[in-house]
Amino acid sequence: MSQITETNAQYYQGSQSFRGNGGNTAGQTFATTFNTDLVFGSHDPTNENYAKNNFKVYTSVTGLPGTFTEYTAAYTVVNNIITITGNPGANIFIVVQLKILDGGKYGATAAEKAYGQAVEDNYGGYQYLKLNDIVNNYMVGYVGDGKLIQTCKKSDVVFFAKRSLQEFSYDTLKSIRSQELTIPSSLSLIIPQDYVNYVNLSWIDELGVKRPIYPANNLTTDPYSNLLQDGTGVPTQDNFGEDLEGTSITESRWKSNNTRLLNSSWYSDFEYFGFANQDLYSLNGPWNWGRLYGLDPQRSQVNGWFGINEREGKFSFSSNLAGKLIVFEYISDGLAYDLDTKVPKMAEEAMYKSISYNILSTRANVSEGVVQRYKKDRYAALRNAKIRLSNIKLEEISQVMRGKSKWIKH
């Protein structure tokens, strides 16, 4: 079971202090106990692999603030244990600093600062368990003599743990990731590497407020094939008998269109239509009275549209979004990083029940009554996990209701 093993300095500052021995011997070892594993490329700042390090080592003779400098002499790192190859100095003060956004409080120059994000990546980590921990806990608590599952291969547990996490990620755990991107002039962005399905896309205005971008759906499409045809309309082939393809005319027209002609804001584009009497054709003018009645909701917005180009593996956007800063939120299945994947503690019991059900349901010598019992247990645990992870707060519900037309007395 997970316990807090880091000190406050390790968690908040990302630093751990040591003291060298009085004999100044070579080969001294210092074991770090961060929740974050040390990533080591090289001790030498001039080596190209040095940038791979997610930490820096500092030393000081006195240990006083402002006296620590980066230690760049030879050392090695194996299993989070740092071994100083040479003689660091008698009773030397040593600090291991994980890379942090502000660079930390050690180092005499800006180049010696430990700039990075290893510390921030660990913040809030106590609310999660690694999938590897789930597997190990299950082998201890659910498999063995006197238990319903007396024998089971660990590889089977790993498989069903991954499958359970994958299913939970779609509608329970909601493994939502987000990217901040700028839409280029090509009006397309590559689908992320661990993408499963999108949640929403929004462009960000000058105030930092999200403006939702809507799916194009029936407005346009990205054809999967763009066949070249001869004069009679028959697709043409190359010397190998394969269909020849060109560029999509549909996509070209969509990218170059004037979105004012789609979103019902064309009445304000007076110069485009050459209208002289702007008062007559303004939003409040008599020419527009009653124009909102029967308006198509899909078109009645100015935030823009997006589509998914399956042929190229990209998201495509309408022409009015070129150069816009967007936030792209999407669902991952939680398996992109193997057993280092994090599982919320609130869903831990549901994971165990799901693994048990999947193992028992695939065995030939287990009665149907036992299988159905674990199926119900899995459903109940999954329902509890959904309720817990929904994070519904009474005060937030009250705040929403106060914004309605009804008077809520409390």
pLDDT digits (tens, 9 = 90+) for 20-51: 999 999 999 999 999 899 999 999 999 999 99
pLDDT, average across residues 97-114: 93
Q: How many residues does the chain have?
A: 410
For position 281, what pLDDT does the model report? 42
pLDDT band, residue 410 (cuts 50/70/90): very low
**279 or 306: which carries more pLDDT confidence?**
306
Cα–Cα distance for residue pair 41/47, rounded to 1 Å: 9
- Asked whether the predicted pLDDT for residue 403 surpasses 60, the reply is yes
The pTM of the whole model exceeds 0.85: no
Instruction: Report pLDDT digits (tens) over 123-147.
Output: 888 888 888 889 999 999 999 998 8
pLDDT band, residue 278 (cuts 50/70/90): very low
For position 138, what pLDDT does the model report? 94
Cα–Cα distance for residue pair 191/338, rounded to 1 Å: 20
CB of 225 within 8 A of CB of 247? no
- For the record, the structure tokens of 217 come out as 């759906």
- For the record, the structure tokens of 43 come out as 């001790």
Instruction: Report pLDDT digits (tens) over 357-373.
Output: 999 999 988 899 999 99
For position 271, what pLDDT does the model report? 46
pLDDT, average across residues 335-360: 82
- As a whole-number percent, the residues of the chain with pLDDT over 90 amount to 50
3-state SS string over the chain?
CCCCCCCHHHHHHCEEEEECCCCCCCCCEEECCCCCCCCCCCCCCCCHHHHHCCEEEEEECCCCCCCCEECCCCEEEECCEEEECCCCCCCCEEEEEECECCCCCCCCCHHHCCECCHHHHHCCHHHEEEHHHHHHHHHHHCECCCCCECCCCHHHHHHHHHHHHHHHHHHCCCCEEEEEEECCCCCEEECCCCCCEEEEEEEECCCCCEEEEEECCCCCCCCCCCECECCCCCECECCCCCECECCCHHHHHHHCCCHHHCCCCHHHCHHHHCCCCHHHHCCCCHHHCCCCCCCCCCCCCCCCEEEEECCCCEEEECHHHCCCEEEEEEECCCCCCHHHCEEEHHHHHHHHHHHHHHHHHCCCCCCHHHHHHHHHHHHHHHHHHHHHHHCCCHHHHHHHHHCCCCCCCC
pLDDT band, residue 380 (cuts 50/70/90): very high
Instruction: Report pLDDT digits (tens) over 234-260.
Output: 888 888 888 888 888 888 888 888 777
For position 293, what pLDDT does the model report? 64
- Asked whether the predicted pLDDT for residue 71 surpasses 50, the reply is yes
pLDDT, average across residues 110-124: 92
Instruction: Report pLDDT digits (tens) over 291-339.
Output: 566 667 677 778 888 999 888 899 999 988 999 999 998 888 766 555 4
Specify the residue for token string 């921990």.
Answer: 133
For position 82, what pLDDT does the model report? 96
For position 252, what pLDDT does the model report? 84
For position 280, what pLDDT does the model report? 44
pLDDT band, residue 17 (cuts 50/70/90): very high
The letter for the amino acid at 79 is N
Q: What is the mean pLDDT of the chain?
A: 85
- For the record, the structure tokens of 317 come out as 């956007």
**108 or 400: which carries more pLDDT confidence?**
108
Cα–Cα distance for residue pair 213/204, rounded to 1 Å: 10
* Among 221, 158, 193, residue whose Cα is nearest residue 351: 158
pLDDT, average across residues 372-380: 94
- In our burial notation (b when 16+ CB lie closer than 10 A, e otherwise), range 245-284 reads eeebeebeebbeeebbebbbeebeeeeeeeeeeeeebeee
pLDDT band, residue 276 (cuts 50/70/90): very low
- For the record, the structure tokens of 230 come out as 């001869």
pLDDT band, residue 407 (cuts 50/70/90): low
For position 139, what pLDDT does the model report? 94
Handedness of CA 94, 96, 99, 104 (dihedral sign): negative
Handedness of CA 382, 137, 341, 390 (dihedral sign): positive
For position 31, what pLDDT does the model report? 96
